[in-house]
Chains A and B, each alone.
Chain A
Amino acid sequence: MKIDRRQLLGGGALAAAGALTALDPRGNRAVAQNAAAGHGMNGHGGGANGATLRKGATVDHRANGFNPTDILRDFDEGRPRRLASGRTLREWEVVAADKEIEIAPGIKYPAWTFNGRIPGPSLRAREGERLRVRFVNGSAHPHTMHFHGIHPAEMDGVPGVGPGLIEPGKSVVYEFDAEPFGMHLYHCHTGPLAEHIARGMYGAFIVDPKQGREEADELLMMMNGFNTNFDAEGNQVYAVNSIAFHYVNEPIRVRRGELVRIYLANILEYDPINSFHLHGNFFEFFPTGTRLQPTDFTDTIGMVQGQRGILEVRFPNTGMFMFHAHKTEFADLGWMGFFEVL
């Protein structure tokens, strides 16, 4: 069940109280997150208080068809089915669609999407499973799905190899094994490549290790941006999960002492590097998520495009903790948010 943020604002304390009880690590947390918007960070930003979009203006998430708060914990495990061999076959259908997305209040971006959202669905499987992704091109442009991972050449989703470009109205099935475990990506690989990525055609491809990971409140964060004037020189809007300053307006609610696992990737086009910085806390970092031992205990990491990893953190204190790109220009242009630790 999803409740619109505006409906809850009037609900006040009752809604906030309900939101607290709605927190649970595996369920849908839309209610809790939406209620959080009603208080707390409305005072942030403006003048010396920092960057902010025009106050009072809001993004119409309903028209967009997705809310970044929901995307955080929306992992798509597809339709699993046990094969005669005992192995699991996992199937998805992903549809490319051209769609206008309001990436900041009032700014409409003519995006190309997977399943009508940016980032596309966070496809999630377990190491060793057989994966079958049926890709339907409902866009007016040719596209592909190129997965990061280990797979046969004809399943690479690039022009001229295997099925190659998928023309509008056509579909294809990409089939391969889930390996290696870790935090990966998929994206369109049609030329011009930079444009097909910048327009929004990317998503997370998460492979869990066979033995699984420790129970945690898991979050998906895709560092991205939008070059709204199409000059191919930097971006006008930067964000995590597409909407500028979204997690300033709707802080991410997490619980003190609970393990929080962040699947983080940088897909930002037109800028050479991006970064992630967490205030007041340190996290263990697992590059690409392909090893179970962390390589770093830090509060800041940098990533080039396509680089990704897993962050694990327990917040020892309650309160508001900012997170943002420590390329602070990006932070001031929208890549900024808050954790609200309860």
Chain B
Amino acid sequence: MEAGSHSRSQVEAPTGRVPVWALGAIPLVLIVGALAALLTVGGDTLGERLGPPVEEIAVERTVLRPGEIELTVRNTGPDAVTVAQMFVNDTYVDYRATDNEIGRSGTEAFTLNYPWQQDSPYLVTLVSETGATTEHEIPVAVETPAPDGGFYGLMALLGVYVGVIPVALGMLFLPFLRRVREHWIRFFMAITIGLLGFLAIDAYLEGTEIAESGTGAFGGAALLFIGAGAAYLGLAALDRVLRERGQRAREAGASALQLSLLVAIGIGLHNLGEGLAIGSAYAVGELALGAFLVFGFALHNTTEGLAIVAPLSAYRRPSLARLGALGLIAGAPAILGAFIGASAYNPEFAALLIGVGIGAIVQVIVQLVPAIRDRAGRALYPASVGGILAGAAVLYATGFLVAA
């Protein structure tokens, strides 16, 4: 240690006259200056590009009102694009827009005057000034719900059905879990891991599909990983903070409550994405409403409640308020997700949120693994493997009940 600090002071000596902040600021100023120079004159040194302008635009959002189709179009390419005309199903249409030119990365809203019919498919073609065409498919035309009180009420109800009620039902297993033996607890925790693992994979597959349906302007499928990474690391940091507090308090069973909280947060973030998918499916008329939807999700998501209370089996007396809070943390985000999904759906934003859900779930799985270790410290043994597979199988099977 002595030798190390000695050599360090030797290195500092020759540059000691220049303040440290200046050493940091000088390269920063040089970099900014060089970039500015490149921006203004650097491009000219390379001359013109070989080909014509690259015209890449994509429809980010479609709103259908009686007699009108509103498209929000984003420029995803390197050059400005000017939309010259549009036709719907091979018929030229009149449309309104504040500007026909869409700058790089910019968006523009176009309102088309077209008598579309409920339940019919449409193909909108945008013709640019150079004659290049961009097609946008509307698989089934359904009037976009107006964001009024009744609509938000319906979305809230959907969120309650899909998130809050199933989670609360699952939590009813708590008294049972508190009475069963320790190896059964480990088995139920293994089931939870299986459930969550399946959810993560399922969400990844769905998220990839959703990301690819977007414009790709903000990274497409990469957003899944960005969301997942941020959620995983964020929850890992939260876990560290909670643990340090718990150690100071030395409260018995506190770690069990923390684990439940983490599981609830993880599932909550997942339900946010699920609500989003349901809300957006509702908005485009793809959601089959009715008893089957409510029943299916209840069965499917009840297992999530089980996952929250499984770590609590060793905890002495969780208050009803705490249990209620855990349930709301896990279930209520479905309501928010449904709002967002139905009123401001954007595939790439959805992909980001689904990624967040995935990262949260993976973090929770990592947290749960110690809870299934047997006395010999093994995580994988016949009972735990059976539990994991059973959990995955339950979600796989009940997944058929919900086609949202």
Contact = CB atoms under 8 A, between A and B. Distances in A.
23 contacts: A45-B94, A47-B67, A47-B94, A48-B67, A48-B115, A51-B87, A54-B84, A104-B127, A106-B84, A106-B129, A107-B127, A107-B130, A107-B131, A108-B130, A228-B130, A228-B131, A229-B131, A229-B133, A230-B131, A332-B90, A332-B92, A333-B91, A333-B92
Contact of B100 (A106, A109, A332): A106
Contacts of B125: 236
Most B CB within 10 A of own CB, among A47, A54, A333: A54
B113 A47 contact: yes
A55 B84 CA distance: 11
Given A46-B94, A51-B92, A333-B90, A109 B131 contact: yes
Interface string B88-129: 001111110000100000000000011100000000010111
B82 interface: yes
Interface of B: 67, 82, 84-87, 90-95, 100, 113-115, 125, 127-133
A54 B87 CA distance: 10
Nearest to A109: B131
Contacts of B82: 106
Interface residues of A, number: 27
Given A106-B84, A236-B133, A47 B90 contact: no
Contacts of B90: 329, 332-333
Chain B interface, DSSP helix/strand/loop, else mixed: strand
Interface in A16-51: 45-48, 51
Given A54-B95, A106-B100, A333-B87, 19 more contacts: A46-B113, A52-B92, A53-B94, A54-B84, A57-B85, A104-B92, A104-B127, A106-B82, A106-B85, A107-B129, A108-B129, A108-B130, A108-B131, A109-B131, A229-B132, A236-B131, A332-B90, A332-B91, A334-B92
A205 interface: no
B84 A51 contact: no
Given A51-B91, A51-B92, A229-B132, A104 B113 contact: no
User: Which are the 3 A-B pairs with shortest beta-carbon distances?
Assistant: A228-B131, A106-B84, A332-B91
Given A104-B85, A107-B85, A333-B87, A51 B131 contact: no
B93 A236 contact: no
A228 B133 contact: yes
B115 A53 contact: no
A78 interface: no
Contacts of A55: 94
A106 B95 CA distance: 14
Contacts of B130: 107-108, 228
Most A CB within 10 A of own CB, among B92, B125, B129, B130: B92
Given A106-B100, A228-B132, A53 B91 contact: no
A45 B95 CA distance: 12
A100 to B, nearest CB: 10
A171 B398 CA distance: 78
B115 A51 contact: no
